[in-house]
Structure 1
Amino acid sequence: MEKPNCAIPRVVEIDLNKLTLPELTHEKQQIDQELAMLQDSIHTLKMAQGKFQESKKSIEKAQKYSSGQPLLVPLTSSMYVDGKIAEMDSFIINVGTGYYLRKNAEGAKDYFQRRLTYVTTQIEKIQAIGNERNRIKEAIISVLQAKVQAQFASQQAGNAKEE
């Protein structure tokens, strides 16, 4: 089954020199909005990356304990309850949207490492798109400045002829 390719925007080349000042301004605003969205996405992915790293470290730390040993179990990031280790090589991991899996230590660490690799790859892809959008934005700003200067020069020339 073929996956729809709706996440990748269609690339359209535009000759910036043919656009008017309002059109250039509009294009710059769109790029600014897109860059803000990309930054938000990177921020969200970096938060997920941190959580996966912390989860992987927690598995590694838990392996140092023994069965029956007391510990604090995190319910949220700021609330813990007393607990005891029941099984040393059995972990329940949250895989999203209310689904949990029971994994051994190596399976759990492998899961978190795969998620880390995936998230890191996505961050790199988004950063590459952001770099390209920044390059386009710089080109738009350059053309905008040139057109404003040309318009200002033609107004100055018009004013000089009237005098």
Structure 2
Amino acid sequence: EINHPTHSFARLKQDQAKFKACIENVAEMEPENQGAKATLVPLTNCSYVHGKISDPEHILVDMGTGYFISKGYRLAHRLRNTIKQRSISLEDMIQNKRDNTSAAVNVIQ
């Protein structure tokens, strides 16, 4: 019962770290550099092509299912905060389940 939430939490933390890095990268783009900001665009995990940012106010978010959605930077930032809050809630739930499991084991012994 505790393995699934723990695994999900670990995966959520990994995704949260990736998303945070993406938000920080987008934050570094300045509006006056629109169209001139060079970047590398990933084609696969190990191959990239050169590209330019045409609109730093809107970003594509990978939903993890092969779909991308266009979001404004501010909305993406709010999404990051929501993910952070939910991960804290999930972490509390996992700790509570661990405590309950430990208490049950102590009673059985």
User: Structure 1 residue 53: deviation in Å?
Assistant: 2.2
Q: How large is the RMSD of aligned CA atoms in angstroms?
A: 2.5
Q: Structure 1 residue 89: deviation in Å? A: 1.2
**Cα distance between partner residues in 2 of 1:60 and 1:47:** 20
- 2:102 paired residue number: 134
Question: 1:42 and 1:105 mapped to 2: Cα distance?
Answer: 25
SS in 2 for 1:93: strand
2:53 paired residue among 74, 82, 85: 85
Ranges in structure 2 where 5+ consecutive residues have no aligned partner: none
Q: Are the equivalent residues in 2 in contact too, given 1:38–1:130 (CA < 8 A)?
A: no
Consecutive unaligned residues in structure 1, runs of 5 or more: 1-33, 144-163
Give the structure-2-normalised TM-score.
Answer: 0.74
Cα distance, 1:82 vs structure 2: 1.0
TM-score normalised to structure 1 length: 0.54
Q: Which has the higher strand share?
A: 2
Aligned counterparts of 2:4 and 2:98: Cα–Cα separation in 1 = 10
Following the alignment from structure 2 to structure 1, what is the Cα–Cα distance between the partners of residues 69 and 5?
Answer: 31
C-alpha contact (below 8 Å) 1:49/1:120 kept by paired residues? no
* Counterparts in 2 of 1:131 and 1:100: CA distance versus 1, 3 Å: same
Q: Secondary structure at the match of 2:33?
A: coil
Give the paired residue count. 108
Give the structure 2 partner of residue 104 of structure 1. Answer: 72
| Structure 2 letter corresponding to 1:59 | V
**3-state DSSP of counterpart to 1:92:** strand
Q: Between Structure 1 and Structure 2, which shows a larger proportion of helix residues?
A: 1
Identity level (%): 24
Instruction: Look at both structures and tell me which one has the larger radius of gyration over its CA atoms.
Output: 1
| CA deviation after TM superposition for structure 1 residue 84, in Å | 0.7
